[in-house]
Amino acid sequence: MSKTTNWVGQNLELTIEKVAHGGIFVARHDGRVVFVSHVLPGEKVKAVVYEDRGGSFCRAEPTEILVASPDRVTHFWKQAGPGGAGGAEFGHIKLARQRELKADVIEEALQRMAGIELRPVVEAAPGDDEANGLGYRTRVQLHVDEAGTVGPYRERSHEVVKVRDLPLAVEEIRETEMHNKNFQDVRKIEVSASSTGQVQWRIDNKVKGDERLVERAAGRTFRISGGGFWQVHKKAADLLATCVNDMVQAVGIDKEADNLDLYGGVGLFTSALAGRFGKDLRMTSVESFRQATDDATLNLSDLPKVKAVCAPVERFLNEKVGNLDKGGKTASPRNSTIVLDPPRAGAGAKVVDQLMKIAPKHIVYVACDPIALARDLKQFLAGDYELKQLRAFDLFPHTHHVECVASLVRKS
């Protein structure tokens, strides 16, 4: 088969080599890379090419598994898998093997992008193994088509799939039966359930049910207005807060320093740190979303030296760096601890550069994308920081997503 031929529609016989970022797997054919979904390393498959834009790679879906991996299982969700509902792309893989594959992705990203030789153990959240990784999602997004059918999108499309159940969701969400109702003139439905038993649904951004959710985590109470961010996995907030606290305790914290919680949301990590190290902790939570900042102000109101600021992180740090350049007084910036929990795209070069100019003693980086984390770590390590610890958590079973927490300490 010529390398210049468009392969769309071709059914190729392939041997799957390894996992790649994004929940896809790598094979090679006639000198080109073929990205294949819903397979496993070591499998021999037939796969039909559905996308070929020229260049060095194309994309394919399996049509037949010729030699199956011993780690392959029957998908737990009949409406998912090849050509079905999205959001459970690893559902055909044993849970323990899923975590090994996620470790593969993290290991390769760290080595390739940051020159770090490290393979973390991807840790399960409490209870997931007993529940086979099901029933953990406290936030679910569904879509509605013109006929009023409610369900997730089909993979790689905006076509709504009618499903009989939502097995990844917590019981409180499944009991709403939103996926079995018919809606008219509606596009999107978001359902959330709190750890205190509340249920909220937003129909095209109009909040129904409980207006404000109340969550309990890290020994504290959090109020979250409609649409505000909270961790998806029912155990994630406690797990991540404990991890951040442990990493901070290992290095130590100056409670009077100019400590920061960047992309602070409703104040989870600031609140958790104050719970561990004392209510006299000085810290500023920075969040660009006004509603979340208002929630954080309420959630942190009992902490006298804590404040919540509504501002884009880059602009906030620009002002702080500008004050340092002018010789302005700040509270011990070089002794400070900074928690960094950016969106999926990562902190980015500008924010990392600003942080290195501030030069805090300790940075704890919470990351939901290993590629973005590795890219940012490269910049930190090229500066004056060393990676002291990295932990990974499987907070999204049956998907390719994985959460990492990294501890970076200034060398000098």
In the annotation, is 368 catalytic?
yes
Across the range 166-182, mean pLDDT stands at 93
- In this predicted structure, the answer to whether residue 67 has a pLDDT above a threshold of 90 is yes
Note the pLDDT of residue 333.
67
> What is the rounded end-to-end Cα distance, in angstroms, of the chain?
58
Q: What percent of the chain has pLDDT over 70?
A: 97
Out of 58, 243, 310, 368, the active site residue is 368
* Range among 145-149, 306-310, 324-328 rated most confident: 306-310
**Architecture, CATH, for domain 11-67:** Beta Barrel (2.40)
Contact, 85 vs 72, CB < 8 A? no
Note the pLDDT of residue 323.
79
CB atoms within 10 A of CB 186: 16
Across the range 280-298, mean pLDDT stands at 96
Across the range 279-302, mean pLDDT stands at 96
- In this predicted structure, the answer to whether residue 1 has a pLDDT above a threshold of 60 is no
Note the pLDDT of residue 95.
98
Dihedral pair phi/psi, residue 72, rounded to 5°: -80, 135
Reported confidence tier of residue 411, pLDDT bands at 50, 70, 90: very high
Reported confidence tier of residue 76, pLDDT bands at 50, 70, 90: very high
Beta-bridged to residue 151, according to DSSP, are 143
Q: What percent of the chain has pLDDT over 90?
A: 86
Q: Which long-range contacts (CB under 8 A, 24 or more apart) does 169-174 make?
A: 169/135, 169/137, 169/138, 169/140, 170/135, 170/136, 170/137, 170/138, 170/234, 171/135, 172/197, 172/199, 173/137, 173/138, 173/140, 173/199
Reported as a single tens digit per residue, the pLDDT across 233-243 is 999 999 999 99
Across the range 401-410, mean pLDDT stands at 98
Residue whose pair of structure tokens reads 């996926």 in the numeric block: 179
Note the pLDDT of residue 136.
98
Contact, 157 vs 134, CB < 8 A? no
The Cα–Cα gap between 222 and 215 comes to 5
Query: What secondary structure letter does DSSP report for 135?
Result: S
- In this predicted structure, the answer to whether residue 328 has a pLDDT above a threshold of 80 is no
Contact, 133 vs 56, CB < 8 A? no
Q: Which of 211, 139, 142, 198 is closest to 170 using CA atoms?
A: 139
**What is the side-by-side order of every strand in the sheet holding 337-340?**
122-124, 385-394, 403-410, 362-367, 337-340, 259-262, 283-287, 306-310
Tell me which of 115 and 1 has the higher pLDDT. 115
Reported confidence tier of residue 342, pLDDT bands at 50, 70, 90: very high
The pTM score is 0.94
CB atoms within 10 A of CB 290: 9
Query: What secondary structure letter does DSSP report for 396?
Result: S
Q: Which of 162, 321, 127 is closest to 234 using CA atoms?
A: 127
Contact, 21 vs 74, CB < 8 A? no
Q: What DSSP string describes 308-339?
A: EEES-HHHHHHHHHHHHHTT---S-GGG-EEE
Q: Which of 403, 399, 396, 391 is closest to 119 using CA atoms?
A: 391
Note the pLDDT of residue 207.
84
CB-count exposure of residue 167 (10 Å: 0-12, 13-18, 19+): buried
Note the pLDDT of residue 325.
67
Domain ranges of the chain: 11-67, 106-128+232-410, 139-218
Note the pLDDT of residue 4.
55
Across the range 161-181, mean pLDDT stands at 94
Note the pLDDT of residue 18.
98
Across the chain, what does the average pLDDT equal?
Answer: 94
Q: Which CATH superfamily is domain 106-128+232-410 in?
A: Vaccinia Virus protein VP39 (3.40.50.150)
- In this predicted structure, the answer to whether residue 334 has a pLDDT above a threshold of 80 is no
Contact, 20 vs 29, CB < 8 A? no
Note the pLDDT of residue 226.
76
**CA distance readout (Å), 212 to 85, 141, 177, 218, 270:** 30, 18, 21, 19, 20
The Cα–Cα gap between 376 and 124 comes to 25
Note the pLDDT of residue 331.
47
Contact, 219 vs 195, CB < 8 A? no
